[in-house]
Amino acid sequence: MTLDVLPPDQTATIAAVEGETALTSRMRAMGLRVGREVMVVRRSRRGGPLQVRVGSTDLIIRPREARLVRLRARPADGR
C-alpha cells in the first residue's frame, strides 16, 4: 500500500520511501522516515494535495509524492 491510497484517519507505518535521492532526502527531512507512523488527515478534491500527519507534524504533499511512500498497515487490534 502507498500513502496516496491510505484512508483518512487510518494509521500505518512507513516501510520505504522511494524516488530520486534529492526527493527522498527532502521527504526524510520532513519526517517521512522508515518506521514512523503516518496518517492521512484529509484529501483535497480532484486529486489535489493530501494533508498527512507524522508524529505531531502536519504536512501537505502532492499525490505523486505520496505514491512514493510505501506503507505497512497496522493490524486491526492496533498492535
Q: What pLDDT digit, counting tens, does each position of 37-48 carry? A: 999 999 998 889
Does residue 79 lie in a domain region?
no
Does residue 11 lie in a domain region?
yes
Q: What total number of domains does the chain contain? A: 1
Q: How far apart are CA 50 and CA 52, in angstroms?
A: 6
- Whether 60 shows a pLDDT value over 70: the answer reads yes
Q: How far apart are CA 44 and CA 42, in angstroms?
A: 7
Backbone region of residue 55 per phi and psi (left: phi > 0; alpha: psi in -120 to 50; beta: other values) = left
Whole-prediction pTM value?
A: 0.87
- Whether 4 shows a pLDDT value over 90: the answer reads yes
Grid cell for residue 2: 502507498
Phi, then psi, of 75 in degrees rounded to 5: -60, 155
37-43 vs 57-61, strand pairing mode: unpaired
Range of the domain at 64: 3-73
Does residue 55 lie in a domain region?
yes
Does residue 28 lie in a domain region?
yes
Does residue 39 lie in a domain region?
yes
Does residue 78 lie in a domain region?
no
* More confidently predicted of 45 and 36: 36
Provide the CATH number for the domain around residue 46. Answer: 2.30.30.90
Q: What is the mean pLDDT of the chain?
A: 91
DSSP character at residue 2: B
